[in-house]
Structure 1
Amino acid sequence: MSAGGRIPAGARVVLATHNQGKVRELRALLADALPDLDVETAVVDAGAVGAPDVVEDGVTFEANALKKARAVAEHTGLVAVADDSGLAVDVLGGAPGIFSARWAGRHGDDHANLELLLAQLQDVPDEHRSAAFVCAAALAVPAGASGPAREHVELGRMPGTLLREPVGVGGFGYDPILRPEGEERSTAQLSAAEKNAISHRGRAFRALLPHLVAALESRL
């Protein structure tokens, strides 16, 4: 461990993110699964432990998520969780995929990414505009008294159809142009609760949860 004493008292698991919304989601999942755990102190973000930023240079969502989880686990000696996600368009062979956040060239420019993708698909008929949001959620457990180091990854998907123009003001990224299967609204028109119930992230983290709970219980 190289955190230099910066790990907060009671910290049990680090989520490799600076997004507090993701931290709240993981705390809520763990609160239901481990009611005796004080999730407010047990679950912390990367900033709380001084974890370094990780270059996401993997060629799959799984590789990027695992790289982040490994780095945080090695840095802190704590159980670590990380995710990587993006949009996979069938007619583009799964692109933008891992390049979703920088599809137009500059990382995080949601508007430019969305506009470029729509332009690339403008001649694609509706019946061929299938796509899915994909998320890989990774768990890294460092070696210790509970046993050797171990890892686990789960994938979650939210399939749907790409619209021809943005609809809705909620969410972020490509949310305004994906209509999930079984919905008449875009992802950007769903409430946070509706989105979490069917989202790629929600599905991946719910699938990872039993493995995370087992890891935490083994380190009591």
Structure 2
Amino acid sequence: MTNEEYNQISIPYQVLTKRFDHNQNYYFDNFYKCYNPKHYIVKDENLETLKKFENLTPRDIYTKEHILAHPYGDKYLDSKLVVIEEKRICILSELGQVFLYLLVSKFENGINQFLELVEQLQTEFPGLIRTKEDEKVVVMGNYLFDDLNYRFEQIENYDLIFHLFGKTNSGLLMQDWNKNIEIHKTKIKGLLDTLKIFDFSKVEL
């Protein structure tokens, strides 16, 4: 995946999943967040990305097994992911999270490699790498993380995975107050597990 292809999805993901927005530029209408067409998230290259989802519905992106196991209702399942009108552009509220899983699907091999390396490093450096929160989070010094960067760089799409984990809203890789790197290993595994409910075969980017 190129940087351009990554940004095409990661920018809408970050804006649509922003938890605290002091200048809320949308309103809710049924299943949707609706924006003024002049808002940057629904303009220019972002609009071009959204257009690729306007003919898709939740029924198109969830697996049949997932749909059968959850009582969504036909109204929701047949709602367009994006509705483009003259005076507003409406985006299904969950689409921001869907974009996250779309990226995870692109990086699945690399993410598995990342998790394997983290577990390997835990074995190699038991005194320097620890866990907390019932082993859900792996913690290592920033200096050690930097020293081991050459090993992480061998991972497929690592630069983009690092950005997704550490520079977006995902909160999967962070630096704490003591300048330790925290890797939320259990949450990352959870992303891969949840990915199983999606079928992105109809998504064309």
* Coarse TM-score class (shorter-chain normalised): under 0.3
**Greater share of strand:** 1
Q: Which has the higher contact order (CA 8 A, sep 6+)?
A: 2
